[in-house]
Amino acid sequence: MKGWEGSQMGQGLWRVARNQQLQHQGYSGQGYLTRENGRRLATNSISNTSHRKQAQGGIDIYHLLKTRKSKEQEGFINLEMLPPELSFTILSYLNATDLCLASCVWQDLANDELLWQGLCKSTWGHCSIYNKNPPLGFSFRRLYMQLDEGSLTFNANPDEGVNYFMSKGILDDSPKEIAKFIFCTRTLNWKKLRIYLDERRDVLDDLVTLHNFRNQFLPNALREFFRHIHAPEERGEYLETLITKFSHRFCACNPDLMRELGLSPDAVYVLCYSLILLSIDLTSPHVKNKMSKREFIRNTRRAAQNISEDFVGHLYDNIYLIGHVAA
């Protein structure tokens, strides 16, 4: 009984102390203080936090908040009131269209050459003009517009697009420079690019040599290859040329592995064709009876007898788990 009374007295004292603490922190008997008092407490808290930030050498958060308009006219922070590094970081997340719109408000900031240089190099990773001394009156914003115009022209007519880049001094008339431009650009239409590479085998040769397949598993390397150089939709001479060039490049990047497995470029060529056929077999909804792992090993080793059964089995597992090599 005494233990129960002691417990009740302890709980009562705790409630009294807790109520005093809540009242001291800004709570009333009905719950919270009025909204105006709550705002005042929040403002004081922000002010104290900002002073602590200042004391630690950080950004003055209170000063940044003061740059905002009043509650009735709330809007965006004026970027010109922020440190330049912070303003440029914010603008660097915009695309070209939004950056042009931002230049209507913050002309000096949005027209900064570093911002437009970043946009150019993030979209077109390699251009011959990047490695040259810029001509008089050069502007990365103007270069971006020319690169965009040239890409649209390429996607309509590849030869005219390449000629446009050369006429503007953006690309040198060299297969290696054109190959680097294609390798580092993702805005080119893959169907038009396939037609162009089929006609310009000299550019295709340099484009293949830009790939580094060292220490890559064969199906993964083939996927990377077809991400840059899209495979044709039908079998033919062009597909055979692509697989032949890939096989020689893969062997050149992995000489030790080729000796260990006893593989030659011809054997890699056979494996690549087998992987493409297996990819179609396993992913096509029109194929009802899928090829089993045992069947794939038997058929592949029949064409390339020096390949180990375990290695061919790992090839099958990769396609089964990850998917098509030329998707």
Tell me the backbone φ, ψ of residue 199, rounded to 5 degrees: -85, -35
The residues with which 28 forms a beta bridge, in sequence order, are 31
Contact 203, 210 (CB under 8 A): no
Residues in the chain: 327
Catalytic residue among 5, 36, 72, 234: 234
CA atoms of 221 and 173, how far apart (whole Å): 30
Q: Which residues of 44-66 are buried (b: 16+ CB within 10 A; e: fewer)?
A: eeeeeebeeeeeeeeeebbeeee
CA atoms of 50 and 53, how far apart (whole Å): 5
Q: Which amino acid is at 139?
A: S
Cα distances (angstroms) measured from residue 307 to each of 219, 268, 273, 296, 299? 15, 10, 15, 13, 12
Q: Please report the sign of the dihedral spanned by the C-alpha atoms of residue 69, residue 73, residue 75, residue 78.
A: negative
Contact 27, 15 (CB under 8 A): no
Q: Which residues of 128-149 are buried (b: 16+ CB within 10 A; e: fewer)?
A: bbeeeeeeeeeebbebbebbbe
Instruction: Respond yes or no: is residue 234 known to be catalytic.
Output: yes
Taking each continuous run of H as one helix and of E as one strand, the counts in the chain are: 18, 2
- Give the three-state DSSP class for 67: coil
Q: Which amino acid is at 231?
A: A
Which H or E run includes 32? strand 31-32
Please name the residue ranges forming H helices in 56-112.
61-66, 84-91, 96-102, 107-110
Please name the residue ranges forming H helices in 1-95.
2-25, 35-55, 61-66, 84-91
Active site residues: 234
